[in-house]
Structure 1
Amino acid sequence: MSEPLIIKENPRDPVMNADEGARAEARGLLETGHAALAWTDPDNGTPGISRITFAIDPVEGPLCLISELAPHTRALRTNGACAMMVGDVGPKGDPMTHARLMVRAQAEFLPADHPGRAELRARWLERNPKATVYIDLPDFHFVRIIPQTALLNGGFARAFRLTSDDLIAMMKV
């Protein structure tokens, strides 16, 4: 099935609308399980960035598990707007030619008494068995990352916009 023809409002914009190949590439990047998470410091409004582990849960969608001790926890509680960058630099070549995905999102903390927490905990530990050491500590919280839009940079001259519908569809397990 071919993609519908979409006429860009700005013909100089080099970013294309996502096609099936771009969505598949973005899904592969999301399966890496780690990302850089950007957030805004509530004290001075400057950006901050943290390394996180995340997973696409079949029930809750994209999630991360973060400690109350991390600076991004207070930042996300104050302002849930965030962005996630996924993608690794390969062993060879120019790092700027390797695919990466930037997801603009909203963070939502799941309450400690979330009704599905036991199942969520079990699924998280299947993917991240080393989290057994800290997952039950009282300062750790599951945070849902609700995708808004994304930009896939697939390497030289390969940039694609993904909509929230694209992201929701690709994050269904």
Structure 2
Amino acid sequence: MPEKKIDPVRPTDDEARGIARTLIAQVRFAALGVIDPETGAPSVTRVALVPGPDGVPMTLISTLSSHSGALKANPACSLLIGEPGAKGDPLTHPRLTLQARAEDADKTAHRDHYLSLYPKATLYYDFGDFHLVRFAPRKALLNGGFGKAYVLTPTDIVP
């Protein structure tokens, strides 16, 4: 008798939505994955992160960075949001992989909001080479801890 495959992905529920939204609301940095336009290879960097007023994550990126050029060439990207706690196995702590599309955001309109959540950016926010990017969710994979895997839609992330 063939073994029955068990789907490790749980049905999305309010707890999963809450974990994902909390990660976006509270985490102030993430790993950003892009495709290098010169090589076609994945490239990952760390970025500062704040939730926009609508809950969509945003970051400030210098046009001098390689990931800025990569996002201009291909706005499809991924963010890994969440950090392991001080104790225990790092794989038991919640983390969210957000598949998104990078979009320009109004840097002037969001200045006060961004700086209220990431005040250290005051040092460079107004530099001319920096632009504000929002990461419009397309799909998300939530690992809410051991045995808690979920697939989330954009409306699960941003109501």
Shared fold by TM > 0.5?
yes
Question: Which sections of structure 1, spanning at least 5 residues, go unmatched?
Answer: 1-10
1:69 match:
64
**SS of the residue aligned with 1:12?**
coil
TM-score by length of 1: 0.84
Question: Percentage identity across aligned positions?
Answer: 44
Question: Which sections of structure 2, spanning at least 5 residues, go unmatched?
Answer: none
- Please state if 1:28 is matched with 2:22: yes
- Please state if 1:37 is matched with 2:32: yes
Change in 2 beyond 3 A, CA 1:72/1:122:
same
Contact 2:140 2:151 in 1 (8 A): yes
Change in 2 beyond 3 A, CA 1:142/1:97:
same
- The one-character-per-residue Cα deviations of 1:14-65 (angstroms, maximum 9, x if unpaired) are 1123100111111121121211110000000000011111211215832111
1:94 and 1:60 map into 2 onto residues whose CA distance is 29
Cα RMSD after superposing both structures: 1.7
1:124 and 1:49 map into 2 onto residues whose CA distance is 23
Contact 2:56 2:137 in 1 (8 A): no
1:6 match:
none
Moved more, 42-51 or 60-69: 60-69
2:120 and 2:39 map into 1 onto residues whose CA distance is 34
1:161 and 1:82 map into 2 onto residues whose CA distance is 17
1:83 match:
78
TM-score by length of 2: 0.91
- Please state if 1:151 is matched with 2:132: no
**SS of the residue aligned with 2:158?**
helix
The list of structure 1 runs, each at least 4 consecutive aligned residues, that deviate by more than 6 angstroms after superposition, is none
State the one-letter code of the partner of 1:34: F
